[in-house]
A and B are shown apart, each in its own frame.
Chain A
Amino acid sequence: MLKIENLHVKVDGKEILKGLTLTVAPGEVHAVMGPNGSGKSTLANVLAGRPGYEITAGSVTFQGRDLLALAPEERSREGVFLGFQYPVEIPGVNNVYLLKAAVNAARKHRGLDEVDAFEFLTLVREKMRLMRMEESMLSRGVNEGFSGGEKKRNEILQMLVLEPRLAILDETDSGLDIDALKIVANGVNTLRSPERSLVLVTHYQRLLDYIVPDHVHVLVKGRIVRSGDKSLALELEKRGYDWVTGEAA
């Protein structure tokens, strides 16, 4: 599904990712953990195609194609989804309009007709119920005036409607209360399937109780310094990053 090899990335002339290698097979869930500033969001952004990152070495292949050669909108249409750590507010752009435009962009890409308006709304409403979101949020501006937790739920709603092949969720659990965490995790789990892969960036092992990962990686200073199974997250929680950074140093 996704193959990242020896990825080096600079931001404003400063190297942030320093030779990152990661392979995600179809159906797998990978958790990426690591201290603040270690480069987790940089990785997520680079995969989604955000401008401002200079890739100085390495490669990323997604379903056999050079992902880095695609424009951000093409990556999305090919099935890459980024759940933002800080979803931006876009007043005046209607939530439901964005959803529909996004769905239609992906459908057009696959040679399908535009989605039927009624069916679309039925689907969106169903997903909203799953995310326990007020229907009135649909007619508001994208994330406009949403609380931190509501924004994260909205990201997951978009993901559920778009049904990506690869979802990268950047700290979707941060800022969620206990109930919301379960709702979000439940939403994510409905999407798990043998054809779909997930990369979860998180600071908290609690999320991984609900969305059980196949692999856990620790990112420190732009490199994956340790990988393991779910027990690695538990151990990190107990011993802190010093444990791995100490080893890495």
Chain B
Amino acid sequence: MSSAALSKRLLDEYLAVRDSLPAGVVSAERRHEAIRALAARGLPTARDENWRYTNLRPLERARFVPAVSAAAAALPEAAVLPAVLDGFARYVFVDGIFAPQLSSPGEQTGRGLTVRHLRDTAERSTAPSGATTVRPVARALPTAVGSLPEARLALLNEAFATDTAAIHVSGASDAWQRVELIFIAAAGADAGASYPRVHLALDPGARLALVERHLSAAGGAQFVNSAVSVQVGQGAQLNHYRLQKAGVRSTWLDTLSAVLSADARYRLLAVNSGGLSARGTTHVQMAGPGAELTLSVAALGDKQQVQDHFALVEHIAPRARTEQTFRGIASGRARVAFNGKIAVGEAAAGTDSRQSLRGLLAGPEAEIDVRPQLEIYTDEVRCSHGATAGKLDKDMLFYLLSRGLSDEVAQRLLKWAFLEDVVSRIDIPGLRRQIEHDLAGQMADAASLKELL
């Protein structure tokens, strides 16, 4: 399908459903703005530099209208949900719409933490009863949503969004608030798309640990387009764990935009293992002096999977620090790509950025591409980067074989070890166990032994 024809279809689909889209989530004007901007620019194509590795064919076939109806009717089995994490309030969204019967907010909405889902608030500006510190969620970005070409799929989300998880943490405190968001895609792509949407705002000095999971109801082929906007206020700390485990036939597209104020600390950790075609775009602006970002991404591709990630970190203010770690493994015929770009602006003297990007080629027909990019417009910066892509180390493999381990177990162990630089940063024991379990099947045994020691 030509790009013009696709834009036309996109507009038509939007016009057909726009009146039924909830204005409390995104106002009609903003939806209109978003769809116009997206149609004008066109959806990404393989000719766009930073989309080369993405599998964009699903976009051509996609139905963009939200799969609203299916959500309430076909709730997935509770078995899909992972075990509850200690101390975390859970909010579940099915096909982008809040599902209270699957959620367990518990006691969390105590001091300073507000979690809302915007769908039912309609256009009311009053707070739902019980919540005390509700305020309108601010526009997350100083720049307009999706103005960055790589972030334009956020516009698609903005146009069609059916609900929003809006989290606001107010007040400086040493205490960490803990929230878990689970997005389940249930409806098949032929019934429409799923639009997970998150607004995060941390006031100065606030602290939040957020676990964000993306799952699929078993078996289906879903189309997911999520958008997350993050504001970390001055001196605030956000630990954000994003686990993408969409179904193996799904298309998963995601855009995260974050702005860090002075001395804010953002630890973003993503483990991407799901989807047939997955693409993540991460755009972080270091807007305040002394801000700190730790961006750690692990991606696993097997069989025919495509795992593509683009991360842009813009250093705008001085003395900010970025540490970027990527570990990707491509097995089978998978394609795994990470494009990590760090841009240091004129005013960003004293920037300290480190990149360590490593890809592991674990299949004869697999493809891996790790690309560090640096753009520096000022002196007085410390930027280091390392990028490697290669196969499993033969000496390590032989060492394990020589101790009697089967080739399969040895390879799995080494793959596991390869991810350790990212996985070891997961400081929530329950979550780490779940991920270890997911990633390495029998390696869970290693974790339990570790605890014995």
Contacts and interface: CB of A to CB of B under 8 A. Distances in A.
A106 B413 CA distance: 18
Given A92-B418, A93-B414, A73 B453 contact: no
B452 interface: yes
Contacts of B421: 92
Contacts of A76: 401-404
Interface in B385-409: 393-396, 398-407, 409
Contacts, number: 97
Contact of A117 (B402, B406, B407, B452): B452
B135 interface: no
A139 B419 CA distance: 17
Given A91-B420, A93-B413, A94-B446, A51 B399 contact: no
B402 A87 contact: no
B449 interface: yes
Contact of B449 (A94, A102, A109, A141): A94
B417 A90 contact: yes
Contacts of A69: none
B420 A90 contact: no
Interface in A8-44: none
A121 interface: yes
A72 B417 contact: no
B402 A93 contact: no
A127 to B, nearest CB: 15
Interface of A is mostly: helix
Contacts of A57: none
A77 interface: yes
Given A92-B416, A93-B416, A138-B453, A102 B405 contact: yes
Nearest to B420: A92
A115 B44 CA distance: 55
A97 interface: yes
B450 interface: yes
Given A93-B414, A94-B446, A73 B399 contact: no
A117 to B, nearest CB: 7
Contacts of A117: 449, 452
A90 B407 contact: no
Contact of A90 (B414, B449, B453): B414
Contact of A77 (B394, B396, B404, B407): B404
Given A84-B399, A87-B399, A88-B399, A105 B404 contact: yes
A157 B406 CA distance: 21
Given A92-B417, A117-B449, A82 B402 contact: yes
Interface string A88-114: 101111101110111001100100000
A2 B9 CA distance: 75
Given A51-B394, A90-B399, A93-B416, A139 B404 contact: no
A49 B401 CA distance: 9
Contacts of A142: 399
Interface in B164-214: none
Nearest to A101: B405
B450 A73 contact: no
A51 B398 contact: yes
Interface string A56-95: 0000000000000001110111000010100110111110
A50 interface: yes
Contact of B402 (A72, A90, A138): A72
Contacts of A50: 398, 402
A172 interface: no
Interface residues of A, number: 37
Interface string B423-449: 000000000000000000000011001
A94 B413 CA distance: 9
Nearest to A104: B404
B417 A93 contact: yes
A162 B403 contact: yes
A26 B452 CA distance: 38
Contacts of A109: 404
A90 B421 CA distance: 13
Interface string A123-143: 000000000000100110110
Interface in A149-188: 158, 162
Contact of B417 (A49, A135, A141, A158): A141
Given A92-B416, A93-B414, A141-B417, A73 B401 contact: yes
Contacts of B452: 117, 121
A138 B418 CA distance: 19
Given A88-B395, A93-B413, A98-B400, A73 B446 contact: no
Contacts of B399: 84, 87-88, 90, 142
B403 A158 contact: yes
A177 B450 CA distance: 31
B416 A105 contact: no
Interface string B243-265: 00000000000000000000000
Given A73-B406, A90-B414, A96 B453 contact: yes
Contacts of A162: 403-404
A154 to B, nearest CB: 11
Nearest to A72: B401
A111 B400 CA distance: 21
Nearest to B446: A97
A101 B414 CA distance: 13
A90 B396 contact: yes
Contact of A139 (B405, B417, B453): B453
Contacts of A138: 453
A101 B405 CA distance: 7
A186 B403 CA distance: 22
5 contacts: A51-B394, A77-B404, A84-B399, A105-B404, A117-B449
Interface of B: 393-396, 398-407, 409-410, 413-414, 416-421, 445-446, 449-450, 452-453
Interface of A: 48-51, 71-73, 75-77, 82, 84, 87-88, 90-94, 96-98, 100-102, 105-106, 109, 117, 121, 135, 138-139, 141-142, 158, 162
Given A51-B394, A102-B404, A106-B404, 10 more contacts: A72-B401, A88-B399, A91-B420, A97-B450, A98-B400, A101-B413, A105-B403, A105-B406, A117-B449, A158-B403
